[in-house]
Structure 1
Amino acid sequence: MNRLQQSLSTATTVLVLSALAVGSNLKAVLAASPPSWLQASLNRAEYDALVLPPPVTAEDFYNRGLFFHGEDDLEEALDQFSQAIVLDPDNPDYYFSLGLTYSDLGDHKLARRNYSQAIALDSTFAAAYYQRGLSRLVIPIAQVNQPAAPSLSADQRQNLTLAIQDFSRAIDLSPAFVAAHYHRGLSYYLQGNETLARQDYQKAKQLNPLIAEHYYQQGFSRLYIGGDPSRGLP
């Protein structure tokens, strides 16, 4: 009996019976909630083969990419999303997910390239505009968080202008997009426009106080709103 067979003995029988009772299957159960004993007894290749079907279609590779991204295996996720794109180069979701993975890896240039491709395929993709805008804010945010941040460079100012355009487009497509309002406000602040910054923060807070408070607690809004979040805007 090999290691895979040993792992799928008594304990797995219980899972199989439970899966049959709810009309599911073993792979679905394991993928949704993999037991620790199973993960510990198999190597990664054996475990992946058990919970993931062999990829055939672009959607298969895409779903595998989502799985690996959820497992924080970003390099493998990149490979799976890229293979999905090879099979179906006209699906904006695939480019968007590839962009998110590059963002997580810190490669914002490649992330923007993929967000732009998603937008080219679907000009109403609000989340792609938002994420592309975020990718343009990375350097300005890192700079302004320093106590004695120098003036922004011409390239950084241009990135802010483009970020505002992206956030504005996301808001046009999805007016209740709280994060887009918030980060457009942050962009306005970095440009020196505190009036528009406050307006966007007020709108974000109006749309969803809890989410706006979350961003506030991250510290960014203190840079352009000031005051105590428990007392509201100054």
Structure 2
Amino acid sequence: MKAIVYLMHNNGEQLNLWKQYLPSPEVELISIPAEQDLVTVLEKTASANLPSLLLVEMSIQSTTNKLLQASNVCRWCKENQPSIKIIFLTTRQETELNKVEQKWALRQGALCLLPKLNHQNLQSQIDQIYGFLSLNPPKVKIIADVPEITTENIVQSALGGARLLIKKKDFVAAMNQLKEVIRLNRENIEAYLLCGEIYTELKNFEKAVQAYSQAIAIDSQNLLSYYKRGLAYTSLKNYHAAITDFNHLLELQSDQAKPFNARGIARMAIGDIEGARLDYNQAIALDTNYAEAYLNRGMLHYSIGEQTKAREDYDRAVKIDPQYEGSYFAWANNSEIKGLSVF
């Protein structure tokens, strides 16, 4: 005849572990919802069907008085069914338990207080319980948790794959991954940002603008979307639109050097020399090792005949980053790349 064990627990994870590992051909485990009164359940159970053991999470409040279920059931068993054994459970780790709690459990009438069940103490706790039932404990085989495959899992996997493919310059395969992300979640901002990155690499700046605009439509506070779209507008020589994006970005956050440098380039292109100078100065103030900002400011100085200042900025840029030695700017070709649109 099977030994019957009643289990009352209000933690879903713990409840599932007990239900998964405690039952055997010799032990039947019956879960009692924490909303029920355990004493009432026992009173309504025929004597022949009463449990041999109760496992009770000790913090669960009684539904009939201000006491704990654990205290109530210990008192009832002592007065009515002293043969029923009781073990208290807790959701805290063994290192978090103290002697006062252990002594309290014993005074109530429990055999012991067991800490939170986990894969490390699973076998020992099963051994204890079967020992109290005078049964040979089974050898526990840990069942590995199988992660649930959700839409979000698929989305994150596809995004990761797209990022790797972009690094490998396999833009067609990366775009196919991003199409799948967008199909599953049209609100995924990162997917549109990565699309914009691909179009920028392909010099298809019109499509890049569309991608970043989609990201902005989803989240009008996304700073990176404004920055990237501003750069795409600059590459399209739509400098006023670029300046508008950089202005909006800097209204939201003004402590980064790159947006000031980028706005400076756009302002320089429309002939706003003083505005560009202020932006380059601010970029350098925020990042004194920003080689590109020194180079851009040097080009500005050169354009207005300030040769000494131009040379100073150019030398500083090269000292910070030797790649600028003999450097020059070539505007990106903005010819349209067709066939990869997801819009």
Match of 1:188 among 262, 267, 272: 267
Per the alignment, in what secondary structure is the counterpart of residue 106 of structure 1? coil
Query: Which residue in the other structure is 1:77 paired with?
Result: 174
More strand by share: 2
Residue 168 of structure 1, CA deviation: 1.1
Question: Whole-Å Cα distance in 2 between the matches of residues 57 and 70 of structure 1?
Answer: 20
Cα shift readout 1:159-217 (whole Å, capped 9, x = no counterpart):
21110000111212221221110010111111111111110000000000212x23444
Question: Quick one: which amino acid aligns to residue 258 of structure 2?
Answer: A
Q: Which runs of 5+ in 2 are unaligned?
A: 1-150, 303-309, 317-343
Query: Which residue in the other structure is 1:161 paired with?
Result: 240
Query: Which residue in the other structure is 2:234 paired with?
Result: 137
Question: Whole-Å Cα distance in 2 between the matches of residues 194 and 223 of structure 1?
Answer: 11
Match of 2:277 among 198, 214, 217: 198
- 1:225 and 2:296 are equivalent in the alignment: no
- 1:214 and 2:311 are equivalent in the alignment: no
Q: 1:160 to 1:230 in 2, by over 3 A?
A: closer
Question: Quick one: which amino acid aligns to residue 154 of structure 2?
Answer: T
Cα shift readout 1:93-114 (whole Å, capped 9, x = no counterpart):
1111111111111111111001
Per the alignment, in what secondary structure is the counterpart of residue 90 of structure 1? coil
Cα shift readout 1:73-94 (whole Å, capped 9, x = no counterpart):
1221111112111111111111
Q: 1:75 to 1:225 in 2, by over 3 A?
A: farther
Q: 1:221 to 1:91 in 2, by over 3 A?
A: same
Residue 138 of structure 1, CA deviation: 1.3
Identity of paired residues, percent?
25
Match of 1:179 among 258, 261, 265: 258
Does the aligned pair in 2 maintain the 1:65–1:76 contact within 8 Å?
yes
For normalisation by structure 1, the TM-score amounts to 0.62
Question: Whole-Å Cα distance in 2 between the matches of residues 95 and 231 of structure 1?
Answer: 39
RMSD: 1.9
Question: Whole-Å Cα distance in 1 between the matches of residues 157 and 225 of structure 2?
Answer: 22
Aligned length: 157
Per the alignment, in what secondary structure is the counterpart of residue 182 of structure 1? helix
Cα shift readout 1:5-42 (whole Å, capped 9, x = no counterpart):
xxxxxxxxxxxxxxxxxxxxxxxxxxxxxxxxxxxxxx
Q: Which runs of 5+ in 1 are unaligned?
A: 1-54, 141-158
